[in-house]
Amino acid sequence: MLCQNCGKKTATTYIKTIVNGRLAQYHLCPDCAREMGYGNIFSDFGLDFGNMLGGLIGGIPGEQTPRCEKCGTTFEEISKTGKLGCAECYRTFRRKLLPIVQRIHGTTKHKGKAPGSSALRVADPHHQIIAVKETPLEEKKRLLKQAIEAQDFEQAAVLRDEIKEMEQHE
């Protein structure tokens, strides 16, 4: 397949983005991908020729590479494979992973398959993942939306009135 941008070279990079619910797919050659800002997603990890050469020679004497306590994976292994060894790796390498997750997904807030259900978010001060609790008002709004989708307009009217009352008391 040819690059959709220049139409000259073979497309080797496949970009898939979802913005405001709209899916966009691009097949790009390496040059066009780099020009459009879709370079190597692991470029911020510090993988360059100097680091590779240092790794071959043995690195800095006395320097220990941080490893996940549970599976023993290093961040360098994660950056090479693009896969984490276990769930503990997220905690161990959180500070290095957050900017990457932010850049790839556009947010560090996990919404799952159904946004607003049992969502998780990253609490910035301590970089910990915590469950997002649904407030009673949010629950009523969710139930209202479900009632409208099910065309249960009597229930929707009751929920609408309850929501208005709850908003007035806030």
Q: Which two tokens stand for residue 53?
A: 């050469």
Q: For residue range 126-147, what is the model confidence (pLDDT) as tens digits?
A: 656 555 567 788 889 989 999 9
Give residue 153's identity as a one-letter amino acid code. Answer: F
Q: Which two tokens stand for residue 106?
A: 């556009």
Q: Which two tokens stand for residue 123?
A: 């609490």
User: What is this structure's pTM?
Assistant: 0.32
As a whole number of angstroms, the distance between CA 143 and CA 116 comes to: 12
Among all chains, which residue has been given the structure tokens 């208005």?
A: 164
Q: For residue range 2-45, what is the model confidence (pLDDT) as tens digits?
A: 888 888 988 888 777 777 777 778 888 888 877 776 665 544 44
